Amino acid sequence: MKVLKDILYKVSLVSTSGDMEVDVKNIVFDSRKVEEGSAFVAIAGTQVNGHDYIDAALEKGAAAIVCEDLPENLKEGITWVQVGDSAKALGIMASNYYGNPSDEIQVVAITGTNGKTTTATLLHQLFIAMGYSTGLLSTVENKINEEVIPATHTTPDAVSVQALLRKMVDVGCTHCFMEASSHAIVQERIAGLKLAGAVFTNISHDHLDYHKTFDEYIKAKKKLFDDLPKDAFALVNSDDKRGMVMLQNCKANHQTFALKSPADFKAKIISNTLEGLELDINGKLVWFRLIGAFNAYNLLGVLGTAILLGEDEEEVLTTLSSIRGAKGRFDRISIGGITAIVDYAHTPDALDNVLKTINGVRTGGEQLITVVGCGGNRDKTKRPIMAKMAVQESDKAILTSDNPRFEDPEEILKDMQAGVGPTERRKTLTIVDRKEAIRTACMLSQPGDIILVAGKGHEDYQEIKGVKHHFDDAEVVTEFLTELNQS
């Protein structure tokens, strides 16, 4: 139980009525989860308006209601709190409720279209290897040291963020590395969080279904930097033309990393093969296990962050050199002379990077067969672009389903096919069933060939009409390649 008045500390209030000293059991933003004594925060969402569920919350025993618009008749015996922004209030309330854990742990948030999971995971592994007790909030999983707490979102909801940070602090974690998705920033899932620093990886085409315009998408990312305190660091990729935009209204310590332009943290790629990357960092040659030029940026983001958190460059580089990336990012499976690569590329920029990386290290003669799909109920404008890329940069492309969610998979594939020109159709197949698509890619391949299975990476499910069916790209490709190798 916590006193409501204390939980509302620092929340900007419009009006209140009722007992502000009332004890509340917990903070809830979903009426279905309200218990006797909860404080219910009503949020206008994308599907429904939480204000329409105030009555339902009261029926379940809510002791206090926090909302932007008060109902006409305020029920007696309930505390009513009107705020300007319920989502923001929720973040601040959650932080107060859990005793402001981010005051006791250094939290670094990573944003950008691609590279967030890779950067956050590398940082988590690096700090653990350097002896720190460390937390991670990521798309693949949340972690408290080595304990895994399954993730449902890239950035959890505001209450879960604070609850997880409290657990981290209680077991002695000194650092937490977390992804800040643009959805989370706009929805104030990280309001109330004190950040030690923020990192910007890059921005490219994605999520226009949600943000509507590219400018709005940029603004969402920039908000993370606008809200940073003066004593935090703001580390941006200055080779990305929006890197400096992130810093325009940022009070924090401005820091940059880059491969092509002058920056605080710089590197030069010496070699880039399917075995890894060799970088020249301040005159030192360092070998890393990650593959692809784009990973040089992720490594620089990691190096910069660690140094800005006070770590020694030499120790960071030595430790980082032996660390592997996140699951489902350029995972290689070699069976019977055929190499399959499973990668989470689900944006045009990511797919282009992965295809270019593979084409850059090919020795000639072998075929590249790409299997790719696009998610349903997500940005439709990336579909034709991704299909075109897959076809143009591969010897054969098999267009298939990703997570259709509530869309008709055939319609998603039609949107993808619109990007494929008439002459390119000859090297394109469309197979709705992802398992069948992967099987076909395996059947068409010869020893020496490379199969890229893009879009789902670590995901172990395929979401169809609200149901998640078990599906694991790595598992499926391994099964078919093994079968073929034995026959």
Ligand X SMILES: CC(=O)N[C@H]1[C@@H](OP(=O)(O)OP(=O)(O)OC[C@H]2O[C@@H](n3ccc(=O)[nH]c3=O)[C@H](O)[C@@H]2O)O[C@H](CO)[C@@H](O)[C@@H]1O[C@H](C)C(=O)N[C@@H](C)C(=O)N[C@H](CCC(=O)O)C(=O)O
Ligand Y SMILES: N[C@H](CCC[C@H](N)C(=O)O)C(=O)O
Type of residue found at 96: N
Q: Rule CB under 6 A: choose which of 143, 221, 378, 382 binds ligand Y.
A: 378
The reply to whether 60 sits in an annotated binding site is no
Which option in Mg ion, ligand Y, ligand ATP, none does residue 114 bind, with CB closer than 5 to 8 A by kind?
Answer: ligand ATP
CA proximity to 456, closest of 366, 352, 364, 373? 373
237 a known binding residue?
Answer: no
Q: Give yes or no for residue 455 binding ligand Y (CB under 6 A).
A: yes
Give the span between the Cα atoms of 23 and 1, in whole angstroms: 6
Looking at beta carbons, which pairs linking 484-487 to residues 24 or more positions away fall under 8 Å?
Answer: 484/336, 484/442, 484/443, 485/335, 485/336
* Contact set for ligand ATP, span 250-289 (CB under 6 A): none
Which region, judged by CB under 6 A, interacts with ligand Y, from 62-70, 230-238, 333-341, 455-463? Answer: 455-463
Helix (H) or strand (E) holding 464: strand 461-464
> Pattern 112-131, binding to Mg ion, x per CB under 5 A?
----xx--------------
Burial 158-178 (b: 16+ CB within 10 A, else e): bbbbbbbbbbbbeeebebbbb
How many alpha carbons fall within 13 Å on the CB side of residue 15? 7
Binding pattern for the stretch 381-420 against ligand Y, x by CB under 6 A and - elsewhere = ---------------------xx-----------------
Is residue 434 involved in binding ligand Y (CB under 6 A)?
Answer: no
Q: Measured between alpha carbons, how far is 206 from 351 in angstroms, rounded to an integer?
A: 12
Displacement of CA 137 from its chain's centroid (Å): 9
230 annotated among ligand-binding-site residues:
no
- Residue 375 binds ligand Y (CB under 6 A): yes
**Site pattern 128..167 for ligand Y (x: CB under 6 A):** --------------------------x-------------
The HSE-up count of residue 74 (CA atoms within 13 Å, CB side) is 17
User: What x/- string results for residues 183 through 222 when contact with ligand ATP is judged by CB under 6 A?
Assistant: ------------------xx--------------------
> Which residues does 483 contact at the CB level (< 8 Å), separation at least 6?
none
Question: Which of the listed partners (Mg ion, ligand Y, ligand X, none) does 117 bind, with a CB threshold of 5 to 8 Å by partner kind?
Answer: Mg ion
Among 125, 456, 477, 481, binds ligand Y (CB under 6 A): 456
Nearest residue (CB) to ligand ATP, 14 versus 148: 148
Strand order in the sheet with 39-41: 13-17, 79-83, 64-67, 39-41, 27-28
Least distance between ligand ATP and beta carbon 177 (Å): 12
Pairing of strands 233-237, 253-258: parallel
Residues from 92 through 131 that contact ligand ATP (CB under 6 A): 112, 114-118
The reply to whether 73 sits in an annotated binding site is no
Taking the least distance from each CB to ligand Y, the nearer of 322 and 377 is: 377
Q: Which is nearer to Mg ion, 96 or 155 (CB)?
A: 155
Site string for ligand ATP, 344-383 (x = CB under 6 A): xx---xx--xx-----------------------------
Give yes or no for a contact between 113 and 353, defined as CB atoms under 8 angstroms apart. no
C-alpha–C-alpha distance, residues 285 and 283, integer Å: 7
Check: CB of residue 217 under 8 Å from CB of residue 204.
no
Q: Which does 375 bind (CB under 5 to 8 A by kind): Mg ion, ligand X, ligand Y, none?
A: ligand Y
Per CB under 6 A, residues contacting ligand X are 29-32, 43, 45-48, 50, 53, 153-155, 157, 181, 183-184, 187
Is 400 annotated in a binding site? The answer is no
Binding mask 309-348 for ligand Y (x = CB under 6 A): -------------------------------------x--
C-alpha torsion 240→246→247→249, nearest 10: 150
Helices (H), 268-381: 294-308, 313-320, 348-361
For 41, phi then psi, to 5°, come to -105, 120
CA distance 274 to 266: 23
Q: Which long-range contacts (CB under 8 A, 24 or more apart) does 211-219 make?
A: 211/182, 211/186, 217/182, 218/242, 218/245
**Cβ at position 446, least distance to ligand ATP in Å:** 25
CB of 296 to ligand Y, least distance (A): 23
Closest chain position to ligand Y (CB): 375
Query: Is the Cα dihedral 410, 414, 417, 422 positive or negative?
Result: positive
In the region spanning residues 145 to 164, those forming contacts with Mg ion, defined by CB under 5 A, are 154
- Residue 240 binding partner per list ligand X, ligand ATP, Mg ion, none, with a CB distance cut-off of 5 to 8 Å that depends on partner kind: none
Q: Point out the annotated binding site for ATP.
A: 112-118
Residue numbers at the binding site for Mg ion (CB under 5 A):
116-117, 139, 154, 179
Residue numbers at the binding site for ligand Y (CB under 6 A):
154, 346, 375, 378, 402-403, 455-456, 459
Q: Point out the annotated binding site for meso-2,6-diaminopimelate.
A: 378, 402-405, 455, 459
